Amino acid sequence: MSSIPLAIGLGVASAVVYGTSIVVQHGAMHVGEEDARGLLRAMRNPRWLMAVGGDLIGFLLQIGALTAGPVVLVQPLVVLMLPVSLIVTFLMGGPRPRPGDYLGSAGVVGGLAVFLMLIGTPGEGHVPRPERVGFFVALVLLFGLACCMSVLGKRAMIRGAVYGAIAGMYFGTLGVLVDASSARVSDAGWHGLVATPRGLVLLIGIALLGIGGITLTQVSFQVGALSATLPANLSADPLTAVLLGAVLLREHIPIGPWHLLGYSLCLVAVVAGAIRLAEPATVVAPDTRAGAAPA
């Protein structure tokens, strides 16, 4: 049963957990070890394992949010991770937030609040046919792979931005599939999700996008350019979710000229705030700043 207040509450809680985990994860990564050895080294770090456990809790909260409300309302809440990470970094002994950080937080929160007001209350979406889901999943995965291959050997800033954007795109698409899976369970029960082509394609897509998104996120942390990675990630995630929520799930989004202008202004506010908040001096944990690669 749909409940917009519950969906927003769980979505905010998920962003709080994710924002905390991302600071701890980045602090546990060895910047510059952009390979499997660096990831294996991080996996032996108790802090990294605890942060991954936090990601799992955040994901479960997000599933609850998507079960209670439409993806076009829930997924944009992910940008709240940035103000949360700012606070968590300070509480962990990092630098005190500067006036510009508060301005960046205002841009993120304000842009998100106005966006949610413009969206209103979208109608219930539908579960798309399996071949349609498979097409979009394959398209997103292949496009992401091509983009990542195209920046091999480029500067850390460029790689970090591309890896972050593709990870965000994967997670945004994953959110759409989780929303569709929830609707599938409501319509046909768990049997309809795990024992029919329509449900199985959704589950396979969630697994592939989840693995790809998690892998790219960890690789982006190894690059070390968090000032490029986070804004790209947290901009691509909700943008992809809103677009696919409208196209694939047919959730209603007002698209009049004034609404489109409002959406654009909200996106500018959120991205500008994200760029300000993601500066290394503000977001990166203090025990890793000395070894971080220049952004």
Per domain, the residue ranges of the chain are: 4-288
Residue 40, classified by CB atoms within 10 Å of its CB into exposed (0-12), middle (13-18) or buried (19+), is: exposed
Residue written as token pair 């006036």? 99
pTM: 0.79
Rg, Å, the chain Cα set: 18
The pLDDT of residue 135 is above 90: yes
DSSP of 16-32: HHHHHHHHHHHHHS-TT
pLDDT for 222-246, tens place per residue? 775 566 677 778 788 888 998 898 8
Residues 269-293 have a mean pLDDT of 56
Residues 45-56 have a mean pLDDT of 80
The pLDDT of residue 159 is above 60: yes
Residues 166-173 have a mean pLDDT of 94
Helices (H), the chain: 4-28, 36-43, 46-68, 71-74, 81-91, 99-119, 130-150, 156-194, 197-223, 226-247, 257-277, 280-283
The pLDDT of residue 288 is above 50: no
Of 232, 112, 225, 126, give the one whose Cα is nearest residue 170. 232
The pLDDT of residue 286 is above 50: no
Instruction: Note the Cα 177 to chain centre separation in Å.
Output: 14
Helix 257-277 / helix 81-91 crossing angle, nearest 10 deg: 20
The pLDDT of residue 40 is above 70: no
Residues in the chain: 295
Quickly state the pLDDT bin for 294 (edges 50, 70, 90): very low
Residues 223, 157: contact at Cβ < 8 Å?
A: no
The pLDDT of residue 112 is above 90: no
